Structure 1
């Protein structure tokens, strides 16, 4: 993909977007695909008082040192077909390769007894530590894997402790990097016994 695009219904086609197997270039920034460690995608409606006036679609990528943001804004359905087609092609060119790359990296981190940060949560072989929720001593709360229940809603992922529903948190797609990858990781752990690949995984009760 190598073309000049516009970012809003009232904008001009003056932004060059290049996507190939090695790099992604946009808005005078270049990132190497092998260096991408974060991806985020969401859509939101734009409202003026009670009236819907448009919609925004966002795709973000980041490396250890850079962040690249692609934000498409469609007002009053003007050029809606253009933006839907553009978003589909950008997603097709970026999404699968990037999420697979991050997923494999996160899987290896867990297999090597490391931890992964997802929003305000810390993910490890023992479970998910909620840094926004603390006990009476101020210590972050832990949801172990056998205790975990999770639900995917249109705008967020809900995590809670199925033995104590007072312990929960929300991770929003708009705010959280790698949330889609994290959901795939949760499916792997809870539905496919992914932690069974780890040494001493039986200590988790899985």
Structure 2
């Protein structure tokens, strides 16, 4: 397995794990706020929505690439666009969680009530994993984008290929043409001079 597919697999797997963690924590935060305050926090709902989108779509991108060659979802351009959407959502989730943490728990997690301490730590966990997912997807997107641009500059367009099938390091496409007169050179070249037409008219004989 080359670097790009392996890198893709690792990023997708870690992102899924982090998304599952965020989904569970955000769901618990939302459950507590609904129970005690009769409402939910915006960052909690955003975290749940972003995690669900990631958990649903990332396996689709990966499995379709394995099961069906040339699938629309496997194209590099489609994958980059969708991952751009995801990392923007994860960035927004992390930023919203950081804002909610600073407003709700301005003095850190030092409360006598164990539930308050737990929720405070869960706020921080959502923030941390959201930013980690953002960093993972952002780095992967930038790397694949740069590889694709470099390959395109060499005349090897990979935008409609999958990461698994794309050859980012292929040389520039182009055929070389050899002129027939230049295929021989030096002492090996033999130039034959055309023979002059022979005169078949004989010399008259005098008797």
TM-score, normalisation: structure 2: 0.28
Higher fraction of helix: 2
Which of structures 1 and 2 has the bigger CA Rg? 2
More strand by share: 1
Task: Between the two structures, name the one with larger relative contact order (CA 8 Å, sep ≥ 6).
Answer: 2
